Amino acid sequence: MTEGNICRIFVRNTFQTGEEQHRKTYRSPPVFSPNQYFVVMIKLFSLFAVAIIASVAMISCSTKSNPTTTPTTTDTSTILTALALPNGTAAPDYNSSTIESVWSSAAPLAVTASAIGDNFSGSSFPVTIKSIVSSQNIYFLVQYNDATENNFQQPLHFNGGDPKTSTNWTIDNTTYDDGVSLIFEDPANQGKSGTKTFPADGCTMLCHTTTTSQWDKGMFSETNGRYDLWYWHTGKGNGSGYADDKIALGDPDFKIRKDDDNAEIYHNNVIDDNPGFQPYLVAGGTNRNLDKRYFIAEETKQTFADGVPINPATNKAWAANDIVSAYSISLPQDPTNDYFDVHAKGYYSSGAWVVKFQRKLYTGASNLDTQFSSGNEYLFSFAIHNNNAPGNHYGAANKSFKLKMP
Ligand SMILES: [Ca+2]
Ligand SMILES: [Ca+2]
Ligand SMILES: [Ca+2]
């Protein structure tokens, strides 16, 4: 390792130590700690918060919907009846863009997703959700139209000139990746917030948008409720096959936690040189067969400071308006870790997302994950994230949906 490498890595490590401050200032990581979540909510509901909201892959955190939105579908049900995978039929494959024919036998839940967020507007659109259950797993298929495929989360933007000059780089801090969140209430730990409950009020009951003498801002029930949170977003999920696996906890935590804080596979890739920035890594080699325009596989990465005259995303010399992901990604060292229970990938084609989830029915961690049992019912909600700070999203506030297990 050269002295330059040591220096650069040191800078990066220093940066990561100060990550909280950086993220508050420049961009929002889609993987958010509870503290970051509070930062989000503070900024989101501040008059001065515009594009620096820390990331919260959250379901409804405001009950305010855009009054101008026009639903384009009529919701006829709040029930999602999961289909038992027929004997002899292959299970859905989250690694395949094909919508398997078995999905046509699963009844869709059709929901109008409306804009949710403070001063956030956007047209409503229909979302369909289906579920299939095998002897081992539960599968979800989420489909919706989206005019733009957004794969970057506040990426680095090269403005031309010498790419080794940090001041030639900025961060596109109003750019966010697309995503889908699902959240499930643990039937054995149903929370309450004042008079609000998840069955009656949906995930709105989890949202604490102002700090009071009693509560910090955040997403939690005020009693000991548990809410299993799955967040697929393109920048991470389509480079790894995993959704974030979290838990929104009430008493005594009153916060959202990752199922394992130490198992993250989606890492900061921005060196803050103040002034200016540099990428830490760029794509290299086969890039683990990931698209070099969007993903940086750590297994085959190149270190930018070592000298990378050709942008691997374009196969040309660095040029103004080149974009580099603000995150690099690896596959997990231990796929059995509780943070990697939720497999998910999304497929974008012809102006629409098809997003597939897969999880074991039983993870064995009832303190972190909803355990799905045959014949039972589970209340849930969802959110669609479309190139917006995650506090601003689309969903159905003020009501919950019911998953019926076969
Ligand atoms: Ca989009
Ligand atoms: Ca888990
Ligand atoms: Ca979980």
Nearest bound ligand to the CA of residue 341 = 2
Would 110 be classed as within a structural domain? yes
Higher pLDDT, 36 or 184: 184
pLDDT, tens only, 266-319: 999 999 999 999 999 999 999 999 999 999 999 999 999 999 999 999 999 999
If you measure from the C-alpha of residue 265 to the centroid of ligand 3, how many angstroms do you get, rounded to a whole number? 16
The CA distance from 152 to 25, in Å, is: 18
* Residue 20, pLDDT score: 28
Cα(190) to centroid of ligand 1, in Å?
Answer: 33
* More confidently predicted of 27 and 128: 128
Q: What is the pLDDT averaged over residues 207-229?
A: 90
Does residue 1 have a pLDDT over 50?
no
Q: How far, in Å, CA of 208 to CA of 196, rounded?
A: 12
Range of the domain at 17: 3-147+178-262+348-404
pLDDT attached to residue 401: 98
Q: pLDDT value at position 74? A: 56
- As a whole-number percent, the residues of the chain with pLDDT over 70 amount to 81
Which pLDDT band holds residue 210 (cuts at 50, 70, 90)? Answer: confident
pLDDT at 41 exceeding the cut of 90:
no
Amino acid code (one letter) for 219: M
Q: Which ligand is nearest to the CA of 229?
A: 3
DSSP code for 242? B
Ligand closest to 393 (CA) is 1
Q: Is residue 115 part of a domain?
A: yes
- With respect to residue 375, please indicate whether it lies within any of the assigned structural domains: yes
DSSP readout, 327-369? EEE---S-TTSGGG--EEEEEEETTEEEEEEEEES--S-TTTS
The Cα 109–Cα 162 span in angstroms is 52
Asked, for residue 301, whether it belongs to a domain, the answer is no
Ligand 3 centroid distance, CA of 180 (Å): 15
- Whole-number pLDDT of residue 168: 98
User: Using an 8 Å Cβ cutoff, are 398 and 61 in contact?
Assistant: no
Q: What's the CA-to-centroid distance between 115 and ligand 2, angstroms?
A: 29
Quickly count: other Cβ atoms within 10 Å of residue 261's Cβ. Answer: 10
Q: What is the pTM of this model?
A: 0.84
Separation of alpha carbons 192 and 339, rounded Å: 26
DSSP class of residue 374 equals T
User: Is 40 in a helix, a strand, or coil?
Assistant: helix
Residue 264 CA to residue 330 CA, distance in Å, equals: 9
Does any domain span residue 12?
Answer: yes
- Quick check: 208 pLDDT over 90? no
Residue 31 in domain: yes
Q: Which residues fall inside 5 Å of ion ligand 2, going by CB?
A: 245, 259, 338, 341, 368-369
* 156 CA → ligand 1 middle, Å: 19
∠ CA 41-358-151, rounded to 5°: 50
- Mean pLDDT, the chain, rounded, equals 84
Separation CA 124–CA 66 (nearest Å):
9
**φ and ψ of 293, to 5 deg:** -70, -30
Q: What is the pLDDT of residue 75?
A: 66
Asked whether residue 267 is domain-assigned, the answer is no
What count of Cα atoms within 13 Å lies in the side-chain half-sphere of residue 71? 13
In this prediction, residue 225 carries a pLDDT of 96
CA 368 to ligand 3 center in whole angstroms: 5
Q: Is residue 297 part of a domain?
A: no
**Six token digits for residue 54:** 């820390």
The residue assigned the tokens 């094909």 is: 98
Residue 373 alpha carbon to ligand 1 centre in Å: 34
Rounded Cα distance between 253 and 249, Å, is 6
Number of domains, the chain: 1
pLDDT given for residue 30 in this prediction: 35
